[in-house]
Amino acid sequence: MPTTATMTATTPEHALSLLQQLCDVADAQNEDIAEVLGESGLTKPQAGMLWALSPTTPPVSMRELAHKLHCDPSNITLLGDQLHAAGLAERQPDPTDGRRRVLVLTDKGLAIWSRLLERMQQRSALFTLTIKEQNQLLGLLEKVQSNQAQLPTGFLT
């Protein structure tokens, strides 16, 4: 677990530059995502929920979706109902625990999800990086995320 003793020392200027660059890139990506999601005709919360139902990962419970999307489980139920009514998602028994239900994309939902990903690949500066650079960045971001999860609550406050 990272501690103040094991963290790499940096100058305030370097720390500020690193944090500012990260925020600037995240803001630009969020703007691109919002624009592309807006093209789907869905509300921002609906589009965010659709995006979170990635077909590249196993389905998760409604509670896990709520945690992932930083919202109340009741909101997830409402959004799930809206996506279901639009024919974009359906509830199915959890393949690993039949007591739970999971939300999965329908063929129509998968088509919109795939279109969103394709548009992001066309718009995002992340995809101007070579595959090697993308893999380097992904590795570093995974390391940062793992380290962040190991820091005690309030560590940086």
Domains, the chain, with CATH or none: 16-125 (1.10.10.10)
Higher per-residue pLDDT: 78 or 44: 78
Tokens linked to 79: 């959004």
Position 7 scores a pLDDT of 62
Of the pLDDT bands very low, low, confident and very high (cuts 50, 70, 90), residue 116 is confident
Position 155 scores a pLDDT of 53
Q: Do residues 102 and 55 lie in contact, with contact meaning Cβ atoms separated by under 8 Å?
A: no
Closest residue by Cα to residue 103 from 47, 64, 71, 45: 64
Share of the chain above pLDDT 90, in %: 38
Q: Do residues 88 and 50 lie in contact, with contact meaning Cβ atoms separated by under 8 Å?
A: yes
Tell whether the model's pLDDT for residue 154 goes beyond 90: no
Residues 5-31 have a mean pLDDT of 83
- The model's pLDDT over 91-111, given as tens digits with 9 standing for 90+, comes to 999 888 888 889 999 999 999
∠ CA 156-65-58, nearest 5°, is 110
- The model's pLDDT over 49-88, given as tens digits with 9 standing for 90+, comes to 998 999 998 888 888 899 888 889 889 999 999 999 999 9
Residues 6+ apart with CB under 8 A from 128: none
Q: Which phi and psi (to 5°) does residue 105 adopt?
A: -70, 140
Tell whether the model's pLDDT for residue 2 goes beyond 60: no
Q: Do residues 37 and 112 lie in contact, with contact meaning Cβ atoms separated by under 8 Å?
A: no
Position 134 scores a pLDDT of 95
